[in-house]
Structure 1
Amino acid sequence: MIGLLLAVTMLAACSMATEPPAEKEDLPAKAVEGGTLTIVRMSDAGNLDPHFISTINAASVVHQKVYEGLVRRDANMVIVPQLALSWRQVSDLVWEFKLRQGVFFHDGTPFDATAVKRTLDRVMDPKIASPRAAMFDKIKQIKIVDPYTVQFILERPFTPLLSILASHEGSMISPKAIEQYGRKLAEHPVGTGPFVFRSWEPGNQIVLDKNQQYWGDKPKIDHVIFRVVADDQKRIAMVENGEAHVAESIPVQEIDRLSASNRLHVYRSEALGTEFIGFNVAQEPLNDIRVRQAISSAIETGAIIKGVYNNVGTQANSPLGPKVFGYSSSVQSYPYDLNKARELLAKAGYPNGFSIHMLTYDRNDRVMVAQVIRSQLKGIGIDAKIDVVSYADFVTTIEKTRTHQIFVSGWGNATGDADYNQYNLFHTMGGGAGNSFQYSNQELDRLLEAGRVESDPAKRLAIYAKAQELEMQDALLVPIRNLENLAVISIDVQGFSISPAGYLMLDQVSIQK
């Protein structure tokens, strides 16, 4: 789970979507049908099977392009119909969905109740061992009422159900493709969406084609190419010289220069994610809350946002971003106070400080954050030794070996609901690999369980506000900033956007000629 939450920040960081300056809009151009949209990105997808995708980077290739769900979120984060025309709660334990008719998967298989049942039975099958299975473990049975009506029979009430069905985990997969490809579905995605998968050259590019038989409004562009270009400057240069239309994961230090260009503009929109400094509370001396509080009080997050991130993003106060349902603005992090930090260390038995390891992965901004934190912690006598590893090794360490102490990281939120982060990352049992803090608190567990079954929105907000207060009081992490989605876009491209969850949205894209 943490893999998914970390990698969303590859797009990252908050403000409203920006539009090209007025002088750029005056250039003579005409949006037409057709053309190939080329997107250059830092890394490859890794997996295209919705039941095994672990990053937003991968999900963004197929979500709302190749694959669709029963429901989706609109631009305002409201859940609206997609492959389901309507739904209702028959009771606390039964949800009923009326399905859209006349829809076909890309291989010609009809979309119907059988397809819904086959898709969800697959993700819940222990033999498949999907890492996404835990998101659906409240479902006892998928019942076919008639060819275009299904019921979800739950073991217990589960309020976040619709938000999960609206994320990439809720993608509907062709039953024929499931049988035909098995585990190789990761390389052969077959959905109902506006784009059809054509090819994948691992480490190089993925190509999608317009679905000429799409049931809804057809895309304006004919093809999409996702090209892997690891070098930041090369990605930007490709947009500047016309080799590409969109560059993801741009360095924040380049924003001012790029914003002045008359050939492109910088896309910025508020994201759901948060970057933070986390503590493994099972490791000494971090098992002492006074040590965690001392470190929290010694970190000046505002300096990090300004110095490392060029003021991209807003200062975070909570484990949740402001656009996530459940966020509380009343939650407070520990204020910067070196005297208080030194006092806490002395009370914990470390008047002269200590040495500790700080883990992060080989992404420039993360390394820079670690360096700033190292410098700040010297002020209270702590020698933080920075360990920089590959992203894969980073995830292995925090999810499996659990030998880390302090870690510099971040997470996104694919559903827009607090449960996605809170339960998976902080619940004693439910967190599994995601609980990289190795934290256990019965009161917090009770709150997170209550948040899953409470149907009243106001009461859910109160529950998650209390949960965040506990997490911050126990100093499990130091929130740094709320993230923004960033991209560089050619002025020839219209209609491009990035959802708050970090998915690239291409349904309205056109290329000016």
Structure 2
Amino acid sequence: MKRVRFYWWLAQAFVKKNARILLASMLVSFVSMIVLMSLYPIINAFLFNKKEVTGLVGAYTSQNLPDEVSTLLSSPLVHVTPKGEIIPIVADSWELFEGEKRYRFHLKKNLNWDDGKAFTARDIHLRLEGVELSVIDDFTLEFKLSESLNIFPVYLTKPLIREPLRGIGGLYRIQSVKFSKGTIDTIHLYPTKKDLPYRVFRFYKNEKDLITAFKRGEITRFTTLTPQVAQQFAQWNNTAVKKDVDYTRYMTLFLNTSAPSFETRDARKAVAYALPDLRDFGQPGIGPIPPVSWAFYSTVKQYPRDLKKAKDLIAAEVKQGSSSAGLTLYSFYDYGDVAEQIKSALEAAGAKIDLRLVSYIPDTFDLFLTIWDVPDDPDQYFLWHSTQASSPTNISHFKNAKIDQLLENGRKNVNVQQRKLIYKEFQELMNEELPAYFLYHPYVYTVGRK
């Protein structure tokens, strides 16, 4: 008993003498445990998960993240399925008022941003042309449109991002962001679910810098549209190259329908019959809507290469100007290889072509070769409607009353089956009128370390 008392007094004396040290140690241990628990997802992802470092080309800010990043971080108000159905994600439901000009969206409750902050309607700051956004209450948004648009919800599929780069319901969260001269240099992401890799995105000014970064080991993967680049890395023992078709983009030859050269449909057909086979660059196009869309229609008129028809039509229909000028074909430097092949094919059919590679969209041209992003919905009002002929979106300056009516009807109707019929006729008529020739969906090559 005396021994027990002795040790008890000894313990009391030790605690009394070292109380401050013991208290500080307990406090440090408690704080360390909290910090480790909060950092566990990052540490676990970094040490035990696979790490992917992706290189991208472009200048981005927190206001315009590339889709490849934003879709990992957050969820949209709605999602459009491959069948054209609109399903709510962050939104719970919506109503339509005042002749299709006012939409009221009810948001799901009990949602949190990835930093734990409660999600409310006041966090949403979408900017859409011709649309006024107002907050009714914490879970209700209202969109007032300048013009009626029954399919308006299809334009609300972008992931919601809150400053500073916070998402909701995403597969990843931001660990850190590094900026350089106002644009993002590097983004580090860690996963919110098991078995997902730790992700890093590094941004470069051009493809040359991107390729150099891969060679130096700064990145482990990147994508390119250039087959020569892919072939170069396919020879490396530690590198794998995967080839896919990018149906979200379309290499297209736009014809300026307001220019004397291509005022007539037969003049535009002359170009179609002269065009070369470009399947080495991508999956051949059929019409304005890609084959992965629910509205795609495959049996529209096609124009296989026919040099005799091309020569006859060019001689009879195409006004080429003076012998020194000819037709101006503009394109960007990145598409120079394709532009050269088109130039050669048109010249073989009797056309005089002045090829100009530039870094801007020209104000005046006869032909313009470029890649454009295909919208998720088949609505292409901004690209082809007569009211857009003087805007940058209607590149061909195309005007056609029948096309206008079809585009308007497609926007007014929400029934998928009825819209299919409308866009079937739209595709048929577009391939008859030919304001542009839809060349191919580009092959995209993913180059990565094995």
* TM-score of the alignment, normalized to the shorter chain, above 0.5: yes
Q: Structure 2 residue aligned with 1:331, among 300, 319, 322?
A: 300
Residue by residue over 1:306-341, the C-alpha shift from the partner in whole angstroms, topping out at 9 and shown as x without a partner, is 3xx2xxx21111122211342221222323222222
Q: Aligned partners of 1:449, 1:370: CA distance in 2, in Å?
A: 34
Q: Aligned partners of 1:337, 1:353: CA distance in 2, in Å?
A: 26
- Over 3 Å counting, the alpha-carbon distance change for 1:250 and 1:447 in structure 2 is closer
What is aligned with 1:228? 204
What is aligned with 2:119? 111
Q: Aligned partners of 1:218, 1:148: CA distance in 2, in Å?
A: 31
Does 2:70 align with 1:63? Answer: yes
Residue by residue over 1:411-435, the C-alpha shift from the partner in whole angstroms, topping out at 9 and shown as x without a partner, is 122x42111xx21110122463200
Distance apart, 1:372 and its partner CA: 0.9
- Over 3 Å counting, the alpha-carbon distance change for 1:383 and 1:327 in structure 2 is same
What is aligned with 2:35? none
Does 2:13 align with 1:37? Answer: no
Q: Aligned partners of 2:146, 2:203: CA distance in 1, in Å?
A: 43
- Over 3 Å counting, the alpha-carbon distance change for 1:81 and 1:455 in structure 2 is closer
What is aligned with 1:275? 251
Does 2:368 align with 1:407? Answer: yes
Distance apart, 1:489 and its partner CA: 2.0
Structure ID, larger Rg = 2
Does 2:394 align with 1:416? Answer: no
How many residue pairs are counted as aligned between the two chains? Answer: 396
Q: Aligned partners of 1:166, 1:439: CA distance in 2, in Å?
A: 28
| 8 Å contact from structure 1 (residues 207, 223) kept in 2 | no
Does 2:218 align with 1:243? Answer: yes
Relative contact order (alpha carbons < 8 A, sep ≥ 6): 1 or 2 greater? 1
- Over 3 Å counting, the alpha-carbon distance change for 1:489 and 1:190 in structure 2 is same
Normalising by structure 2, report the TM-score.
Answer: 0.75
Q: Aligned partners of 2:321, 2:107: CA distance in 1, in Å?
A: 66
| 8 Å contact from structure 1 (residues 195, 211) kept in 2 | yes
Residue by residue over 1:31-58, the C-alpha shift from the partner in whole angstroms, topping out at 9 and shown as x without a partner, is 96457532223x32244424xxxxxxx5
- Over 3 Å counting, the alpha-carbon distance change for 1:351 and 1:408 in structure 2 is closer
Residue by residue over 1:76-101, the C-alpha shift from the partner in whole angstroms, topping out at 9 and shown as x without a partner, is 997655433x3355678445433242
| 8 Å contact from structure 1 (residues 173, 191) kept in 2 | yes
Distance apart, 1:173 and its partner CA: 4.4
- Over 3 Å counting, the alpha-carbon distance change for 1:195 and 1:75 in structure 2 is farther
What is aligned with 1:368? 337
Q: Structure 1 residue aligned with 2:187, among 208, 212, 224?
A: 208
Identity of aligned residues (%): 20
| 8 Å contact from structure 2 (residues 225, 442) kept in 1 | no
- Over 3 Å counting, the alpha-carbon distance change for 1:460 and 1:344 in structure 2 is same
Does 2:156 align with 1:195? Answer: no
Q: Aligned partners of 2:185, 2:433: CA distance in 1, in Å?
A: 44
Q: Aligned partners of 2:358, 2:320: CA distance in 1, in Å?
A: 31
Q: Aligned partners of 1:218, 1:427: CA distance in 2, in Å?
A: 48
Q: Aligned partners of 1:295, 1:223: CA distance in 2, in Å?
A: 46
| 8 Å contact from structure 2 (residues 61, 182) kept in 1 | no
Q: Structure 2 residue aligned with 1:99, among 96, 108, 112?
A: 108
Residue by residue over 1:190-212, the C-alpha shift from the partner in whole angstroms, topping out at 9 and shown as x without a partner, is 54453336222149862223469
Distance apart, 1:250 and its partner CA: 5.0
- Over 3 Å counting, the alpha-carbon distance change for 1:76 and 1:210 in structure 2 is farther
Q: Aligned partners of 2:224, 2:85: CA distance in 1, in Å?
A: 26
What is aligned with 2:418? 459
- Over 3 Å counting, the alpha-carbon distance change for 1:159 and 1:272 in structure 2 is farther
Distance apart, 1:253 and its partner CA: 2.6
Does 2:438 align with 1:476? Answer: no
Normalising by structure 1, report the TM-score.
Answer: 0.67
RMSD, matched Cα: 3.6
Q: Aligned partners of 1:251, 1:31: CA distance in 2, in Å?
A: 32
Q: Structure 2 residue aligned with 1:305, among 279, 286, 306?
A: 279
Q: Aligned partners of 2:243, 2:343: CA distance in 1, in Å?
A: 30
Distance apart, 1:266 and its partner CA: 2.3
What amino acid is aligned across from residue 431 of structure 2 in structure 1? M
What amino acid is aligned across from residue 359 of structure 1 in structure 2? Y
Distance apart, 1:110 and its partner CA: 3.3
Q: Aligned partners of 1:35, 1:385: CA distance in 2, in Å?
A: 50
Q: Structure 1 residue aligned with 2:330, among 339, 349, 359?
A: 359
Point out the more displaced range, 340-349 or 402-411.
340-349
Point out the more displaced range, 91-100 or 404-413.
91-100
What is aligned with 1:87? 93
SS in 2 for 1:64: helix
- Over 3 Å counting, the alpha-carbon distance change for 1:325 and 1:45 in structure 2 is farther
| 8 Å contact from structure 2 (residues 223, 447) kept in 1 | yes
Distance apart, 1:246 and its partner CA: 1.1
What stretches of structure 1 of length at least 5 have no aligned partner?
Answer: 1-29, 51-57, 124-132, 178-187, 492-513
What amino acid is aligned across from residue 340 of structure 1 in structure 2? K
- Over 3 Å counting, the alpha-carbon distance change for 1:173 and 1:60 in structure 2 is closer
Q: Structure 1 residue aligned with 2:386, among 428, 431, 446?
A: 428
| 8 Å contact from structure 1 (residues 278, 408) kept in 2 | yes
What is aligned with 1:26? none
Distance apart, 1:404 and its partner CA: 1.7
Q: Aligned partners of 1:455, 1:207: CA distance in 2, in Å?
A: 41
Q: Aligned partners of 1:349, 1:81: CA distance in 2, in Å?
A: 50
Distance apart, 1:152 and its partner CA: 4.8
Written as runs of structure 1 = structure 2, the 5 A alignment for 1:6-21 is none
| 8 Å contact from structure 1 (residues 274, 320) kept in 2 | no
Q: Aligned partners of 1:456, 1:73: CA distance in 2, in Å?
A: 13
Q: Aligned partners of 1:195, 1:77: CA distance in 2, in Å?
A: 29
Residue by residue over 1:452-492, the C-alpha shift from the partner in whole angstroms, topping out at 9 and shown as x without a partner, is 1111212111211212222221121122112344321223x
What amino acid is aligned across from residue 305 of structure 1 in structure 2? R
Q: Aligned partners of 2:111, 2:264: CA distance in 1, in Å?
A: 60
| 8 Å contact from structure 1 (residues 79, 166) kept in 2 | no
